[in-house]
Amino acid sequence: MKPLVFRAANAVGVGRYLRHRNRQRLLVLMYHGVVEQALDPFCWHQLPVDAFREQMAWVRRHYSVLPLEQALDLQKRGELPERAAAITFDDGYENVLDVAGPVLAEHRLPAHVFLVTDLVGTPEVPWPDRVWLAVHHASIARVDLAPLGLGALGLETSSRRAATLDVVLQTLKGKSAVEKDALITALEASLGVAKAQSPDDFRMATWEQVQDAAAQGLFTFGPHSRTHDILSQVGDEEVERQIAGSREDVERRLGTQPTAFAYPNGRPEDFDDRSKRAVEEAGFDWAFSTRLGLVGADDDPLALPRIAVGADLPFVRFQLLCSGWL
């Protein structure tokens, strides 16, 4: 039913009206990875390139796309052009440079990548990808997830694997970093999968690739913490290490002084006042959450919203989200 509502809304001009009404606000799109083909089981944060190409062509037609930090600075000074947008990617996947990069270059669209700095250039991957790889490579039809309090779940079909994956990821989000690692290790053992899987589509970019991309001018880079631990779940010293330390990593490797940070996971419960203080003390002017919304001049600069784009987002809904139908 909803896709019909979205199509009808677009057909009668709701999107055009909202883009006009919100023309002074900044659209910040949040992606993660872009892959050649949809992944199996379903992976929300790895977008097929055909969908990405369609979205970028539409954004190019309807918005003035600026480098993220330039757009934020212009908005702060009251000089942001109407219908301005910025494109961001979280984590630092190699496919952002190799698969998304040519699409962005074709449309002459700059983008900003928030890096998990301890993972750059390593075979390690963010913990959700480690879970996806374990489920993907499992050769059993059912797994006992008693350690996670979930009982036995099925892996017989692609849809069952996707459902099991979703339940596991949602359960793990509430765990501390140490507990999460132990539970993922137990999951891998239950599935008969070794941690040292080939990262495949989740491979992280190297510092050399990041440096080359920065030199070419299409991408700018900033920090997304050192290890992607959820900041509200770690101690004070670790909050500082994750935020200030990741800024130092980017400065040392790229010779730049990033002004924007992205909180890992980014829900309101995933960062707290300690995190915001650490962001300020580290020298950042802005920090991004994953709260859904367009950025207004009066928004909290240390908890800015974005529009998250996943692999299950219909194009008509994408258009309306960008326009401000939230």
Name the β-bridge partners of 69.
none
In a domain, 47, yes or no: yes
In a domain, 15, yes or no: no
262 is in which domain, residue-wise?
2-8+21-123+200-323
Among 36, 48, 43, residue whose Cα is nearest residue 130: 43
- The whole-angstrom separation of Cα 268 and Cα 125 is 24
Same domain (yes/no): 218, 84: yes
In a domain, 92, yes or no: yes
List C-alpha distances in Å: 25 to 80, 265, 296: 8, 23, 5
Same domain (yes/no): 106, 164: no
41: preceding bond cis by omega (within 30 degrees): yes
Same domain (yes/no): 170, 315: no
Same domain (yes/no): 29, 177: no
Same domain (yes/no): 252, 207: yes
Same domain (yes/no): 108, 181: no
The residue out of 191, 215, 236 marking a domain boundary is 191
Same domain (yes/no): 207, 268: yes
- The whole-angstrom separation of Cα 72 and Cα 202 is 29
Same domain (yes/no): 273, 292: yes
Name the β-bridge partners of 152.
144
pLDDT score of 1: 47
Same domain (yes/no): 221, 310: yes
Q: What is the CATH number of the domain that holds 97?
A: 3.20.20.370
The residue out of 161, 191, 221 marking a domain boundary is 191
Specify the number of domains making up the chain: 2
* Tens digits of pLDDT across the chain (326 residues): 477 887 888 778 888 989 999 999 999 999 999 999 999 999 999 999 999 999 999 999 999 999 999 999 999 999 999 999 999 999 999 999 999 999 999 999 999 999 999 999 999 998 899 999 999 988 899 988 888 888 888 899 999 999 999 999 999 988 888 888 899 998 888 888 876 566 788 999 999 999 999 999 999 999 999 999 999 999 999 999 999 999 999 999 999 999 999 999 999 999 999 999 999 999 999 999 999 999 999 999 999 999 999 999 999 999 999 999 98
Same domain (yes/no): 25, 45: yes
